[in-house]
Amino acid sequence: MKNNKIMSFIKTKYPCVVMAFALPALFMTCHEQEKQAERNNLNIQISDLDKKIHQTRDLHTAHVPQNLRNVQSRYNNAADSLDKRADTIGVCMMQNEDLLLFAFNNYATRVGRDFQISKFLSANDIAIFQKYIAGLDSVDYVVDMARARILSGTGSLNDLSYFLELLDFDSVNSELENKLAWDFYTDFGITDSEPVEIATLVFGNDELNHALRTEQNLLSHAWRKNILQSKSEKKDSLRATDMDIILDSNHDSLQNSAISGLENMDEYMPNFDIPEFDSVRTQYMHNDSMIREYNKMFDNMLNAEDSLIQYRRAMVHERDSLISARQKLEK
């Protein structure tokens, strides 16, 4: 009788026991299938994005959505046009640099007539400077012309200033009647942290240094500040009388205004009120207009390129996010 009761109990509870073990296994199986399905879906999306990203390596031929088709077309047209004009623009830039150097040298020659070293130095000192400068290599056109004037006896104080720090100080000074001297000053504009003490070689005679500064101040008028106008500024804010490069000490040489001026033509422009510069104005402005048009086209190409790159980066970011999500599923 007792055995019958036990068997009856087992028969009654068996389905529940089976379900107690089967349900977790069934749940785990279903959950794993869901995870696998999700992984498969992520793999498909990642694979599709990989293909699209690969297709956008070349922005010229990249497959882009409809809203970027015009952007891509502008990018391609600008890039092609820039490539075709590159050589011409290169010639224009070199020609404009030559024009400015030529004009500046002529201006320096005219200004220098009032500051001839023959008016300030003895024949003996001039001969000593000529001896040492004759053995120096020319640096560029402006300096080479200054060197030629010194060697021919028509050099100015500014012409001589180009070479002072290239000379052997002790050797030259031992022979000069009018000695050279080191001028030490503190420059606060070189770094944002600590001021820097700088030494420049000048004349030991204050009268010579004053004359040199005067000549350099006149030569600095060759360049004027190119003031960038904001919407709130008046259109006539750029005036022919704006002369912001004034060399008020012997710490700066004309080389800074002449050569650095050429390297930063977005900041400084030639002063065409000066006859020597006015003589090259027509050709310079023609070249400059072509250069500006080229630069504008280049900026437009970069803007279009940025939009295409952002589209590619967005896909890369989305793919990386999907990869991260897949990695979490695999844990």
Q: Are residues 133 and 196 in the same domain?
A: yes
Q: Are residues 123 and 262 in the same domain?
A: yes
Specify if 86 maps to a domain: yes
Q: Are residues 260 and 144 in the same domain?
A: yes
Residues of the chain short of pLDDT 50, as ranges, are 228-265
Q: Are residues 202 and 249 in the same domain?
A: yes
Q: What radius of gyration do the chain's Cα atoms show?
A: 38
Positive or negative: CA dihedral 222, 113, 247, 96: positive
> How high is the pLDDT of residue 236?
37
Contact of 286 with 260, CB cutoff 8 Å: no
Q: Are residues 265 and 151 in the same domain?
A: yes
324 burial level (CB within 10 Å; 0-12, 13-18, 19+): exposed
> How high is the pLDDT of residue 233?
40
Please name the amino acid found at residue 302. L
Q: Are residues 151 and 263 in the same domain?
A: yes
Domain count within the chain:
2
Contact of 126 with 178, CB cutoff 8 Å: no
Residue 135's nearest CA partner among 153, 147, 123 is 147
Q: Are residues 214 and 151 in the same domain?
A: yes
What tokens were used for 277? 């510069």
> How high is the pLDDT of residue 126?
96
> How high is the pLDDT of residue 27?
57
Distance between alpha carbon 88 and the CA centroid of its chain, in Å? 22
Positive or negative: CA dihedral 171, 174, 178, 181: positive
Q: Are residues 259 and 302 in the same domain?
A: no
Specify if 111 maps to a domain: no
What tokens were used for 105? 């040298």
Q: Are residues 296 and 152 in the same domain?
A: no
Backbone angles phi, psi at 269, to 5 degrees: -125, 155
Specify if 157 maps to a domain: yes
Q: Are residues 191 and 297 in the same domain?
A: no
Specify if 294 maps to a domain: yes
Domain that holds residue 294: 1-93+288-331
> How high is the pLDDT of residue 256?
44
Specify if 277 maps to a domain: no
The 8 Å CB, 24+ separation contacts for 209-215 are 209/250, 211/115, 211/120, 211/157, 212/115, 212/157, 212/158, 212/161, 212/250, 213/247, 213/248, 213/249, 213/250, 214/115, 215/111, 215/112, 215/114, 215/115, 215/156, 215/157, 215/158
Contact of 270 with 223, CB cutoff 8 Å: yes
Q: Are residues 84 and 176 in the same domain?
A: no
Specify if 232 maps to a domain: no
Contact of 96 with 287, CB cutoff 8 Å: yes
> How high is the pLDDT of residue 320?
87
